[in-house]
């Protein structure tokens, strides 16, 4: 069941980004989200994440997002930590790839949302066997 929750969340993240559906996409992200591991930034929170998504969606900068590989790390009834590999394709054909460690939380309204994301350094992604060849999930 845990794997299904994560796979459904990843598919929804990919689908809403490809459709440039800002409201649906941001409904997958917790207001208490913390994104780390981006060079030049200590931490990115919900407001900055929302502003970036809005800019990318309105200007049609994202062609699509896909996820490859899935390593479950830990789980409780309300939280699931996992690692995956994300490939973001820009509208101009540019590719941005990163291994990610993500934490989903089932919030009070029953919706699973991302509360933590860490961009993994390339050597850590390699250590966990994460790459675009890990088997596409979405």
How many structural domains does the chain have?
1
Whether the CB-CB separation of 75 and 2 falls below 8 Å is answered with yes
- Per DSSP (E only), the strands in 2-135 are 29-36, 62-75, 79-90, 95-106, 112-120
Tell me if 135 is assigned to some domain.
no
The string of pLDDT tens digits covering residues 106-122 is 999 999 999 999 999 99
pLDDT value, residue 47: 97
Confidence class of residue 54 from pLDDT cuts 50, 70 and 90?
very high
Tell me if 137 is assigned to some domain.
no
User: Domain with 35 in it: what CATH number?
Assistant: 3.10.450.50
Tell me if 132 is assigned to some domain.
no
Q: Which domain holds residue 16?
A: 2-127
């Amino acid at each position: 069941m845990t794997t299904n929750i994560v796979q459904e969340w990843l598919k929804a993240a990919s689908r809403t980004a490809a459709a440039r559906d800002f409201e649906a996409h941001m409904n997958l992200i917790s207001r208490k989200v913390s994104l780390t591991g981006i060079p030049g930034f200590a931490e990115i929170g919900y407001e900055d994440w929302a502003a970036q998504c809005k800019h990318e969606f309105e200007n049609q900068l994202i062609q699509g997002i896909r996820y490859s590989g899935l390593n479950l790390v830990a789980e409780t009834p309300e939280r699931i930590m996992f690692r995956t590999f994300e490939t973001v394709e820009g509208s101009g054909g540019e590719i941005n790839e990163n291994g990610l460690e993500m934490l989903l939380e089932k919030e009070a309204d029953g919706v699973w949302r991302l509360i933590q994301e860490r961009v993994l350094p390339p050597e850590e992604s390699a250590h966990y066997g994460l790459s675009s060849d890990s088997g596409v999930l979405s």
